[in-house]
Amino acid sequence: MLDVDIKGQVGALALTARFKSEGGVTSLFGQSGAGKTSLTNMIAGLIRPISGRITVNGTTLFDADKNINLAVQARRIGHVFQDARLFPHMSVRSNLTYARWAGRRKTTRSMDEVVQLLGLQPLLSRKPATLSGGERQRVAIGRALLSDPRLLIMDEPLANLDQARRNDILPYLDRLCAEAGIPILYVSHSIEEVARLSQTLVILSDGQTPAYGPVAELLARTDLGKATGRHEAGALLEGTVCHTDSEWGLTHIDIGGATIQIPDLGAAPGEPIRLRIRARDVALATEAPKGLSIRNRLEGTIRSISEESGPYAEILCSVGEQTIRARITRASVADLGLEVGKKVTVLIKSVAIDKRQRAPVPG
């Protein structure tokens, strides 16, 4: 469990952060300059807050009222940065064992376990200069895990990688987030990464935390557009693989009473899957359409309509127990007579759900 309630000042930025998570992966999301690095530095002990407290799994790291401020080493926080920061003269094996040696710590997590988790066996004898960016980051994560941390902070670990390298490392992050067994604070300004990896989402905007909670709930909220960014706004659906239609290359996902077809996922029946559906890829109809190429036609009910001063409206629709977000024009809202409580057909193109929007449900 991670419990943060602090105030601080870093240069001109006044920081006020308050959130809780029950473990697993907590994503700290905000645009550049929102204060993400300042906040993680306070949690890690690199910057002292002015007031408040920080606890991890019941251990108090900082409490201004009780004059508690654990030293950086005593906090036992593993930190993975944008750049891997490996020792260039050491092999991968030596880099992995360095943190444990320097900290004089014993841990129940074995070297073999970390090597297997992150697929590092073929890299152990190599030097960092011979590794790709994604491989270096996997080594950096492994080194942090072997330092016996009570909390792992990952500060935009994919920011310096191109999309191909990100795609290479994301499956390893899926496993890490499911199997690490320690709370992880994942810092990012990428909705793709947040939606894929986390259970809890903390929004950080202008040094403030206006909202936190389950990631699916927050990404569906229409009042957080300034903080989350409108272009990639959408919703998360969680479902289970029904079967794969090999003739047409489509995987069928049961999202609780309704089925969505997406390009072949290569997943086994019964596997839990999370889908990110972007609001701009959703259309609405007031009558069941005919002669349409869009394969996903879900019966839903309008839950809210948020109209802005520009041409667009954000609409939340309930489909069973899940929420789908649509962005359409205000003119369409008027022409179709859309209102809260109205039954609609939610239309989603199968081809709109690309590989970066599909992932296993985090453990």
Whole-number pLDDT of residue 174:
85
Tokens of 177: 């987030």
User: What is the C-alpha separation between 248 and 243, in angstroms, rounded?
Assistant: 12
Q: How many CB atoms lie within 10 A of CB 220?
A: 23
Tokens representing 283? Answer: 């259309």
Give start and end residues of each alpha helix (H) in the chain. Answer: 36-44, 72-75, 92-103, 111-118, 133-145, 163-179, 191-197, 215-220, 225-228, 330-336
β partners of residue 359: 274
Q: What pLDDT is stored for residue 102 in this prediction?
A: 65
Distance CA 295, CA 117 (A): 38
Instruction: Give pLDDT, residue 103.
Output: 57
Give me 2's structure tokens. 């991670």
CA distance 183 to 87: 26
* Predicted confidence pLDDT, tens digits, the chain (363 residues): 899 999 999 999 999 999 999 888 999 998 888 899 999 999 999 999 999 999 999 999 999 999 999 999 899 999 998 888 899 999 999 999 887 766 565 666 788 989 999 999 999 999 999 999 999 999 999 999 888 899 999 999 998 888 888 888 888 888 888 888 889 999 988 888 888 889 999 999 999 999 999 988 888 887 776 666 665 678 889 899 999 999 999 999 999 889 999 998 888 899 888 888 989 999 999 998 889 999 999 999 999 998 776 899 999 999 988 999 999 999 999 999 999 999 999 999 988 886 555 656 665
How far, CA to CA in Å, does 26 sit from each of 36, 154, 182, 201, 254? Answer: 13, 10, 11, 6, 26
Domains in the chain with CATH codes: 2-222 (3.40.50.300), 235-360 (2.40.50.100)
Query: What predicted TM-score, i.e. pTM, was given to this entire model?
Result: 0.85
- pLDDT at res. 357: 57
At 356 the pLDDT is 53
Looking at residue 351, what is its pLDDT? 84
Quick one: pLDDT at residue 179? 84
Q: How far apart are CA 346 and CA 324, in angstroms?
A: 8
* C-alpha 264, offset from chain centre: 23
pLDDT of residue 167: 83
Residues 6+ apart with CB under 8 A from 52: 4, 5, 6, 7, 62, 63, 64
* pLDDT at residue number 228: 66
Using alpha carbons, select from 234, 164, 223, 144 the residue that is nearest to residue 194.
Answer: 234
Query: How much is the pLDDT for 317?
Result: 96
pLDDT score for 125: 95
CA distances from 67 to 50, 57, 239, 339 (A): 11, 19, 47, 54
